[in-house]
């Protein structure tokens, strides 16, 4: 069935049907209702490509995660992020196109496929590395886009969490518990979130008058295997606590500590970052920095659609607060003085940064 058929059955012109489909305000409510009733009765599906050519809008947004497929689906962070974004896009009646990097496909080819695609109005870019080639290509192509994470250059649209102050709160808490040799396992060094969390670790030590021992800083890759391997590197350096830049890495660190016959938190305290659902049921339950992962997805879509629909003016920039969630893995002052003290669930401490 064609547009002309709907026009004939509804008793209107072809141009009127086109205006109704494209939500033209210059159509009377009576005519609009009649045309849509005929569209539904005939199960007519408009040609979306042709519609996009007319309106220059597809009501579709792309979410790009320029990481390898394996790492994306192995990390519980990404499903929560994607769900938050899609739910918000659906609420605004936008479709979502998901792009995930490929370990085999070259970066340049992946970026070109994204930029050459004309079936979306704007882009969300999540977890980009420093100097990611996609960002300058989007700028050159004049695509509206929002980053999830710290911006690589000034005046970009982004949504991020307060990574620096979240990490600072974690390390400050370990210092307050009397921990003396606090190490850290950072995330992937060329990612802004990892850099900010390392900066927070350093700042907390300096504020406490502690020297920064570079030998206690090791770099992981935001995954469990690297947390395990890097904790094994730290153990001979006599750390009594470790701030780990993601919960997945912290789980690897817990495994490495326990395999050495050491106890958490009595011998080594551990604090993670994310507050993934599994963090409350690790052994022992993990003290961590909670970041609002679903809100990152939600807010990035809100900003992008606001830019597309003229509600916001670029640059749009938003930073969400973090919270320190205290569980058993870092111990308490009481358990440090009395290692036989019964473990307990410590109260949740909310630190809005």
Q: Per the structure block, which two tokens stand in for 217? A: 């800083």
* Per-residue pLDDT, 51: 52
Write out the H or E segment, with its range, that includes residue 88.
Answer: helix 77-91
Phi-psi region of 23 (alpha: psi -120 to 50; beta: other; left: phi over 0): left
Q: Which of 70, 103, 241, 122 is nearest to 171 (CA)?
A: 241
Cα 120 from Cα 235, distance rounded (Å): 49
Q: Contact, 310 vs 271, CB < 8 A?
A: no
Q: Are strands 269-274 and 317-320 parallel, antiparallel or unpaired?
A: unpaired
Q: Contact, 92 vs 82, CB < 8 A?
A: no
Summarised one tens digit per residue, pLDDT across range 120-160 is 899 999 988 888 888 998 988 888 999 999 887 888 999 99
> What is the band of 236 on the pLDDT scale with cuts at 50, 70, 90?
very high
Write out the H or E segment, with its range, that includes residue 27.
Answer: none
Listed ranges 42-51, 110-119, 158-167; the one with the highest mean pLDDT? 158-167
3-state secondary structure of 269: strand
Residue 341 has pLDDT above 80, yes or no: no
Phi-psi region of 127 (alpha: psi -120 to 50; beta: other; left: phi over 0): left
Domains of the chain (ranges; CATH) run 60-161+295-320 (3.40.50.2300), 163-292+323-337 (3.40.50.2300)
* Per-residue pLDDT, 56: 59
Q: Per the structure block, which two tokens stand in for 212? A: 């920064």
Q: CB neighbours of 251 closer than 8 A, spacing ≥ 6? A: 224, 227, 272, 278, 282, 286
Q: How far is CA 221 from the centre of its chain?
A: 15
Q: CB neighbours of 343 closer than 8 A, spacing ≥ 6? A: 284, 328, 335
* Per-residue pLDDT, 335: 40
Comparing 119 with 105, which gets the higher pLDDT? 119
- Average pLDDT score over the chain: 87
Instruction: Tell me the C-alpha to C-alpha distance, in Å, between residue 288 and each of 93, 279, 283.
Output: 35, 8, 14
Residue 292 has pLDDT above 70, yes or no: yes
Q: Contact, 35 vs 4, CB < 8 A?
A: no
Cα 250 from Cα 244, distance rounded (Å): 6
Its pTM stands at 0.79
Summarised one tens digit per residue, pLDDT across range 298-307 is 999 999 999 9
Q: Which of 124, 120, 153, 122 is nearest to 136 (CA)?
A: 153
Residue 336 has pLDDT above 50, yes or no: no
Cα 104 from Cα 125, distance rounded (Å): 20
Cα 266 from Cα 286, distance rounded (Å): 14
* Per-residue pLDDT, 291: 97
Q: Contact, 99 vs 114, CB < 8 A?
A: yes
Residue range 73-82: mean pLDDT, rounded: 92
Comparing 213 with 39, which gets the higher pLDDT? 213
Among 77-81, 119-123, 334-338, whose mean pLDDT is lowest?
334-338
For the chain, the first-to-last Cα distance in angstroms comes to 57
Cα 155 from Cα 192, distance rounded (Å): 16
């Amino acid at each position: 069935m064609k547009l002309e058929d709907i026009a004939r059955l509804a008793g209107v012109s072809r141009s009127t049907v086109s205006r109704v489909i494209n939500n033209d305000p210059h159509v009377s409510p009576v005519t609009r209702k009649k045309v849509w009733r005929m569209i539904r009765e005939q199960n007519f599906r408009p040609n979306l490509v042709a519609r996009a050519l007319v309106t220059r809008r597809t009501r579709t947004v792309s979410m790009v995660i320029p990481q390898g497929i394996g790492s994306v689906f192995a990390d519980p962070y990404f499903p929560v992020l994607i769900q938050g974004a899609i739910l918000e896009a659906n609420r605004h009646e936008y479709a979502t196109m998901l792009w995930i990097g490929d370990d085999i496909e070259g970066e340049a080819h992946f970026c070109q496929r994204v930029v050459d695609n004309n079936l979306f109005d704007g882009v969300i870019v999540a977890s980009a590395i420093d100097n990611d080639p996609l960002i300058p290509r989007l700028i050159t192509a004049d695509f509206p886009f929002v980053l999830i994470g710290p911006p690589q250059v000034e005046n970009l649209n982004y949504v991020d969490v307060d990574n620096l102050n979240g990490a600072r709160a974690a390390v400050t808490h370990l210092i307050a518990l009397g921990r003396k040799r606090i190490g850290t396992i950072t995330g992937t060094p060329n990612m802004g979130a990892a850099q900010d969390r390392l900066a927070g670790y350093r700042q907390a030590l300096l504020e406490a008058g502690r020297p920064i021992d570079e030998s206690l800083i090791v770099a992981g890759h935001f995954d469990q295997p690297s947390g395990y391997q890097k904790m094994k590197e730290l153990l001979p350096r006599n750390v009594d606590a470790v701030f780990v830049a993601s919960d997945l890495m912290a789980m690897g660190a817990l495994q490495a500590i326990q395999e050495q016959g050491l106890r958490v938190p009595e011998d080594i305290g551990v604090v993670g970052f994310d507050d993934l659902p599994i963090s409350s049921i690790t052994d022992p339950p993990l003290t961590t920095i909670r970041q609002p992962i679903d809100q990152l997805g939600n807010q990035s879509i809100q900003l992008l659609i606001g830019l597309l629909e003229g509600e916001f003016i670029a640059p749009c920039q938003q930073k969400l607060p973090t919270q320190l969630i205290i569980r058993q893995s870092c111990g308490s002052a009481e358990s440090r003085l009395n290692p036989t003290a019964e473990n307990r669930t410590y109260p949740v401490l909310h630190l809005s940064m």
